[in-house]
Amino acid sequence: MIRNYLKSLLRFLYKHKTYTLNNILGLSIGMASVVIIYLWILDELSFDTFHPNHERIYRFVQTVQNEDLEFKIAVSPAVMPPTFEEQFPEIIETARFRPETREVLVSHGDKKFYETKVAYADKEIFSLFSFRFISGSSNDPFPAVNSVIVTEKIAEKYFGEDDPTGKFITINEDQVFLISGVLENLPLNSHLKFDILCNFDILKSDSYYYSESWHDHNFYGYALLHEDADIGLLSEKFTEFMRENHQYESTTYWLQPLSDVHLRSDFDIDLYSHSEPKAQYILIFSFVGIFILLIAVFNYINLTTARSTRRAMEVGIRKVNGAIRIQLFRQFMSESFILILITYLIAMLVVELVIPFFNQLTGKELSVNYMDPSFAIGMGILVILTGFLSGVYPSLFLSSFSPIRIIKGDIKAGPSLFRKVLVFFQFFVAVFIIVCTGIIYKQLQYIQNRNIGLDKELVLYSRINGEMFKNFHSFKQELKNYPEIKNITYCSQLPTYTVASTSAVDWEGKEEETSMIIHQYIVDHDYIPLFGIELSAGRNFDLNHPSDSGDFILNEAAIRHMGLENPVGKRFQLWNREGTIIGVMKDFHFKSLHKKVEPLCLRLARTVAGYIFIKIEPDNIENTLKQVRIVWDAHNPQFPMAFEFLDNEYQKLYQSEQKLRSLFTLFALLAVFLSSLGLIGLTSFLTEKRTKEIGIRKAMGSSPWKIMTLFSWDTLKWILLSNLVAWPIAWWFMKRWLQGFAYKTEIAIWIFAAAAILVLIIAILSISFEVIRIARINPAVSLKYE
């Protein structure tokens, strides 16, 4: 019996090759899309879950309410984690972590490279997190203050096949570190990222800035809790302790689960700049994957029911010979699952071919692990669900045929309304994704073209290191002799990565209960002119005013939060440094447009710090870079020049949105392609079925265009309806997405119109190809068609 069923299926598929190819191609692409999205979701959900105690590890975070601005930060004072460990018995152990915010020059022998993944941590970090040692020990990871642990990648890079344990590396040419252990390369799904991990105690030496003030928030603290710890109650205890002992009246302290760090972080200050929640994208692409698969499944259902008359005689013969409906239902369901298994194998081949491109698009390193239980279970569900959805309706429909009606020829190719509803849904999804893609693109254009209040174009930057600390002024003076150099300055921070923040501020007229976290930049006199920052009051720092070395320039956001009127000339205090407000800057964006502009102050310093910024002319950039390199090498020969363009740093702030746009574009193309594929297959069958009618109409004088219009309108009106339904839903969805930006574009009507025109053109082309082909056949031939 099974052999007979299989022969019947293969005969039918072979006889109707176009139908078979259409179904297999559509389902394969749909399933491949779902597999790739599923791999991406598994990777996102797997962050930090490889640590055995990940469910009991939390991060110290806080929320500061500055009047109308909620300021969320993931950093803590250096003294807070160990103090909380002593104060609260619910905490088993704590550890502090701090990434190096600059690239450092690492050397061993004749090998010298800039490294960007350098960090500092307490030895307890290895009690909380299960990073695997190749050599060395987690029990005593830092036997000396200058101990350092490296990953396999660094060990191979500097030492080749030799074991580096017990050997030395030099950082920034003046600090020698002893390698005390080698770790396996950190998993890509770890939110902590480092290749070189230094002993936290080194930060307490004179070479580094370290403060035990409760007002300096510069470190990331983690805690391992007892299993029965009440997280909500413990967070309340933290807040109460800080208010009683350190006067943090407007700050709420809480614990963030380790599993939320990657997916649900929304902090103004976080590891590697600010953070945006990513969990929403899992939900978005889950729905996208489901919709893409449903489009492919609906294509299958549409074509199967449309061609049901082709198998009517087979059903009639089987029923006459004693087959009952449940047997026929099982037959057609079995055929569906066989076809789905074939398409799944093809889909996996497509996945293997496409996944390198997808990785390049998303910055992931996804791969298919067929032995992973999560993947195996997911694929099992995918095959069963797709087979069931694809086969259940056609099987019920085909098995319901009556032998008497078959003999009379009274068999219809399934309910036409049902097929039209399926076409409606397919193009609804296509229009929805196209509109979303258009609005994402428009927001990115808005971001790129918005005046951020700071001229970032043609600005080079490089970290100050080596001899440049003492040679900066001579370097600056020499470069200014070149006409291609417009200006030079320095600043303690990159404008896209601001972490020097404090609440240790006071000002003239400050109310006792008022608090504010403010960012600070240490700059020289040319910072404001180089970046073209406008002043709304007061003046810039001036070399002719020596007293400016103790004064401040604040932005308008800071002035608003302080509630000052006529702020110029009023007292302002940062830590123990007291001075006068000499100027007010117009707000400029030093973070992404997700965030409102936050309080910021500039001050002069006695020593050079941070980054060099060079504003250059647009002509002959390559020659200008050569000149800068020559002067750099003369003033700082030990450190190779490593200048980059600042506008690239601003682009990095929107990497998530750029990847989202790319993915939506890809899935929009897939949705349109699959919808068109189904439309072509359905039109092919319907025109074939009405070939004789077309011949009669043509013989009566109808032109191919009139015939096409007649056949097209019935489908196109459903596609128009799909637009009308998709528009408000897409508008609502993207309105919510745009709320994640403090500064956003308007949703333009032309995007909806463009989506409608695009899908209509594609639909018309899909329909017209088959209709015109049949319409061009000689009527004499068409009238003989059976």
Q: Which residue has the tokens 């993931």?
A: 74
One-letter-per-residue 3-state SS of 173-215? CCEEEEEEEEECCCCCCCCCCCCEEEEHHHHHCCCCCCCCCCC
Q: Which residues contact 149 (CB under 8 A, 6 or more apart)?
A: 136, 141, 142, 179, 180, 181, 182, 183, 196, 197
pLDDT at residue number 4: 58
pTM value is: 0.81
Between the CA of residue 613 and those of 382, 462, 554, 717, what are the distances in Å?
Answer: 54, 7, 20, 59
Euclidean distance between CA atoms 668 and 416, whole angstroms: 27
Q: Which residues contact 541 (CB under 8 A, 6 or more apart)?
A: 523, 524, 525, 528, 548, 551, 553, 582, 602, 604
Nearest CA-CA partner of 422 in 306, 293, 305, 299: 299
CB atoms closer than 10 angstroms to residue 361: 15
pLDDT at residue number 592: 81
Nearest CA-CA partner of 745 in 443, 453, 445, 451: 443
CA angle, residues 118, 491, 624, in degrees to nearest 5: 95
Q: Is 786 exposed, middle or buried (0-12, 13-18, 19+ CB in 10 A)?
A: exposed
Segment (H or E) for 733: helix 704-738
Euclidean distance between CA atoms 285 and 308, whole angstroms: 34
Tokens representing 24 are 């297999």
Handedness of CA 449, 452, 454, 459 (dihedral sign): negative
Q: Which residue has the tokens 């290191």?
A: 465
pLDDT along the chain (786 residues), means of 10: 58 60 81 92 92 95 76 89 94 94 87 92 94 91 94 95 92 90 93 94 78 83 94 92 78 92 87 80 86 83 62 59 68 78 91 91 86 90 86 67 55 58 82 90 86 91 89 93 93 81 84 79 94 95 88 94 91 90 94 84 86 93 92 92 89 82 85 78 61 64 65 76 92 89 89 90 76 60 50
Q: Which neighbouring-strand residues pair with 501? A: 519
Q: Which residue has the tokens 């949703």?
A: 747
Work out the widest C-alpha separation in the chain, in whole angstroms: 108
Segment (H or E) for 486: strand 485-491
User: In terms of DSSP H, where are the helices of 207-324?
Assistant: 231-246, 258-263, 279-306, 312-320
Euclidean distance between CA atoms 416 and 409, whole angstroms: 18
Euclidean distance between CA atoms 579 and 548, whole angstroms: 9
Segment (H or E) for 507: strand 505-507
One-letter-per-residue 3-state SS of 6-65? HHHHHHHHHHCHHHHHHHHHHHHHHHHHHHHHHHHHHHHHCCCCCCCCHHHEEEEEEEEE
Question: Cβ(393)–Cβ(303) under 8 Å?
Answer: no
In 596-645, which ranges are E strands?
Answer: 600-604, 611-616, 644-645
Euclidean distance between CA atoms 42 and 213, whole angstroms: 41
Tokens representing 358 are 């997808």
Euclidean distance between CA atoms 483 and 624, whole angstroms: 10
Tens of pLDDT, residues 81-118: 999 999 999 999 999 999 987 788 999 988 999 998 99
Q: Give 381-399 as a DSSP string.
A: HHHHHHHHHHHHHHHHHHT
Euclidean distance between CA atoms 616 and 7, whole angstroms: 75
Handedness of CA 269, 270, 276, 280 (dihedral sign): negative
| Residue 123 zone, left/alpha/beta (φ > 0; ψ -120 to 50; rest) | alpha
β-pairing, 147-151 vs 175-183, is parallel
Euclidean distance between CA atoms 350 and 651, whole angstroms: 32
Segment (H or E) for 418: helix 416-449
pLDDT at residue number 414: 47
| Residue 601 zone, left/alpha/beta (φ > 0; ψ -120 to 50; rest) | beta
Tens of pLDDT, residues 139-184: 899 999 999 999 999 999 999 989 999 999 999 888 899 999 999 9
pLDDT at residue number 750: 93
One-letter-per-residue 3-state SS of 517-543? CEEEEEECCCHHHHHCCCEEEECCCCC
DSSP state of 568: T
